Amino acid sequence: MDRISLNAARRRSRRLLLGGALALVAADAARAAESIPTDDVGARDAALLESFRRSREALEWTDALVRHDWRLQRHAAGADWRIVDPHERTVLHGSAAECRRRFTGLEQDGTIPPVRGKVLILLHGLGEDRGSMQPLAEHLRGILDATVLTFGYASVRHDIDAHGRSLADVIDGLPEATRISFVGHSLGNLVVRRWMALAAQPALARVHRMVMLGPPNQGSELARMAAGLGLAGRFEGAARDLVDWRRVAPLLAVPPCDFGIIAGGRGDAAGYSQLLEGDDDAVVRVEETRLDGAEDFLVVPVHHAAMMHDPTVRRATIRFLESGRFAAADRAEPARQ
269 to each of 225, 279, 311, how far by Cα in Å? Answer: 19, 5, 24
Query: What b/e string do you get for 233-272 counting C-beta neighbours within 10 Å, with b at 16 or more?
Result: eebebbbbbbbbeeebeebbbebebbbbbbbbbbbeebbb
Highest mean pLDDT among 32-46, 92-106, 153-167, 210-224: 92-106
Chain-centroid distance, C-alpha 307: 11
Lowest-pLDDT range, 6-15, 36-45, 166-175, 287-296? 6-15
Angle at 212 between CA 75 and CA 209, to 5 degrees: 95
pLDDT tens profile 260-277: 999 999 999 999 998 899
Of the candidates 189, 194, 193, the one whose C-alpha atom is nearest the C-alpha of residue 213 is: 189
pLDDT at 172 over 90: yes
Q: How many CB atoms are closer than 10 A to CB 78?
A: 7
Whether the model pTM is above 0.85: no
119 confidence band (pLDDT: 50, 70, 90)? very high
Distance between CA atoms of residues 126 and 180, nearest Å? 23
pLDDT at 330 over 90: no
pLDDT for position 98: 97
**DSSP assignment of 228-260:** HTT-GGG--THHHHHHSHHHHGGGSPPPSSEEE
Lowest-pLDDT range, 7-11, 37-41, 177-181? 7-11
> Strand, helix or coil at 123?
strand
Distance between CA atoms of residues 214 and 12, nearest Å? 22
pLDDT at 334 over 50: no
4 confidence band (pLDDT: 50, 70, 90)? very low
Sign of CA dihedral 171, 174, 179, 184: negative
Higher pLDDT, 26 or 89: 89
Q: Taking residues 85-105, report their average pLDDT.
A: 96
Distance between CA atoms of residues 32 and 37, nearest Å? 12
pLDDT at 143 over 70: yes
Higher pLDDT, 326 or 6: 326
End-to-end CA distance of the chain: 20
Distance between CA atoms of residues 109 and 106, nearest Å? 5
Q: Residue 56: is it exposed, middle or buried by C-beta count within 10 angstroms (0-12/13-18/19+)?
A: exposed
Q: How many CB atoms are closer than 10 A to CB 65?
A: 20
30: left (phi over 0), alpha (psi -120 to 50) or beta: alpha
Q: Taking residues 227-239, report their average pLDDT.
A: 62
236 confidence band (pLDDT: 50, 70, 90)? low
pLDDT for position 134: 95
pLDDT tens profile 291-319: 999 999 999 999 999 999 999 999 999 99
Q: Among residues of the chain, what percentage have pLDDT more than 90?
A: 68
pLDDT at 336 over 90: no
